[in-house]
Structure 1
């Protein structure tokens, strides 16, 4: 699972940070979460490409959606034919339609708008789901959790061959699929040669939000939590007024959820040149890895039982 941070600024872009956008590649599927102004240029600059079929909008504030019209128009210029789906909070369909309309012409390919409520499965794939969950941002808003299914346990070929005398072949596939097989007059149960199910990965993207129990629940055991970390402690009152989180509050949610890693995004321009302050305050309460990704940073998220390590690649070292 590869996560590319296309836009990490708050409501106002800077020369170094674009408004909110997150690209996720999972086993060939490419998903886009939020699409702030200039996202299509970020996609070109950081090599994610335009091969996406699903866009997930957390809410309709401009810094999260103003890149949609331009991206759809570019896809049209590129002679796209297959449909694209835009997922947005319930009650916002007309606003999504109005967002697309100013380009002058509707795209020649189908644009499907799906409204989602907290608890809905926005996208159901064979090996994972994208689920919407409640956030607190004083508007119609949701967060999204990409949750992979459990994977099959490891097949113990040595035991199958040496203890039960089963040669390689179709019986291995049946056992690994959970079906008992007959061999030399004995019924071999799959649990005798297949280990316990292995956990999948969980990626959680909050969009803009106050710290809430619904976010904590969605982020339980998350391999990566991407959380609103707009403000430092010194502007905690401003965070409450604008329905955002401080870096410390985001870290408290990550700690309570048992998340493994925390990425702080939607950073206020107040901290340009001193974003380290946000990371330092979050690290005081969260023992897992905390980082403030730059635009273009790539996080490779391994399976929980993998021998591979989490890897964060800076844009200037790719």
Structure 2
């Protein structure tokens, strides 16, 4: 896979504001489109920011209302668009009960299959060229983080070395790059390791969901290309963070530092920091020295391939 693009649909905690919608993140993975959480109004944000509606799966971090009630209208919009193929919904228990209620709210029947999957810490959802790994976190209710992990890629193809070995340009080059051996006209066999450099690691994206800073997220985010971590509160709201099992921006920065992530994006802001997130940014910066941003609705970024 080559494209890995994130579009933040909603970056507010608990309640929408004039500037920020409720939680929602669209992730484009080559031809796949995934949603992580689907707060109220997410479908309007998808129109506004041009993500499209060809969603393959929705991953819910937990079932506080601000993270999942938008799925009701979203599914009905898909039906009105004539969708016929299945959509997959993933989340922690009680996903089956709550999502079944949401799916069947109202009198309209769905025109396409809806597959509901309950997942738990340690589960892995395989996808084409990547997987979504499930991580248990520390929140007031059963809650998850998700790590999107790209499959490893072959090493760089050394064109001159292939020519020296007599490999003809064309399909043989492609076979070697895919890890297949090639037999030449003179009977010699050229193997991938003869013309490829060391294998390259795939990219890793980690989405914390709502959580206190916890070791599970640090482990999951080790060497991640990007950590998207909730930062609901500032230092002077530490007591509130403990009470509600959320994180401060400083704590999010500490998680990023301990995990050695390459980039940190803060999201899920309390309305207190709606239009003035500079305090959160500064406090996270004291803990984490790498690339750091506070997300806003419509914020879009792409993760480049690893060298």
TM-score between both structures, scaled by the size of structure 2: 0.95
Q: Which residue of 1 aligns with 2:177?
A: 176
Q: Are positions 1:100 and 2:110 aligned together?
A: no
Asked if 2 retains the 8 angstrom alpha-carbon contact of 1:232 and 1:248, the reply is: yes
Deviation at 1:168, TM superposition (A): 1.4
Aligned mates of 2:182, 2:49 — CA distance in 1: 50
Aligned mates of 1:7, 1:250 — CA distance in 2: 18
Aligned mates of 1:260, 1:146 — CA distance in 2: 15
Gaps of 5+ in 1: 306-318
Q: Are positions 1:113 and 2:116 aligned together?
A: yes
Gaps of 5+ in 2: none
SS in 2 for 1:37: coil
Aligned mates of 1:74, 1:159 — CA distance in 2: 54
TM-score between both structures, scaled by the size of structure 1: 0.91
Deviation at 1:28, TM superposition (A): 1.5
Q: Alpha-carbon deviations, 1:155-176, whole Å to 9, x = none?
A: 1111111x22222144333433
Q: Are positions 1:158 and 2:160 aligned together?
A: yes
Deviation at 1:43, TM superposition (A): 0.5
Q: Are positions 1:37 and 2:40 aligned together?
A: yes
Cα-Cα RMSD: 1.4
Aligned mates of 1:70, 1:174 — CA distance in 2: 46
Q: Are positions 1:49 and 2:52 aligned together?
A: yes
Asked if 1 retains the 8 angstrom alpha-carbon contact of 2:95 and 2:117, the reply is: no
SS in 2 for 1:102: coil
Deviation at 1:114, TM superposition (A): 0.6
Q: Which residue of 2 aligns with 1:312?
A: none
Asked if 2 retains the 8 angstrom alpha-carbon contact of 1:18 and 1:295, the reply is: yes
**Runs of 4+ off more than 6 Å:** none
Asked if 2 retains the 8 angstrom alpha-carbon contact of 1:53 and 1:84, the reply is: yes
Q: Are positions 1:4 and 2:12 aligned together?
A: no
Aligned mates of 1:73, 1:131 — CA distance in 2: 28
| Aligned with residue 211 of structure 1, among 205, 210, 213 | 213
Q: Which residue of 1 aligns with 2:229?
A: 227
Q: Alpha-carbon deviations, 1:150-207, whole Å to 9, x = none?
A: 111111111111x222221443334333344444454433222111112211111111
Q: Alpha-carbon deviations, 1:34-55, whole Å to 9, x = none?
A: 0001001000011111111201
Asked if 2 retains the 8 angstrom alpha-carbon contact of 1:135 and 1:143, the reply is: yes
Aligned mates of 1:74, 1:188 — CA distance in 2: 53
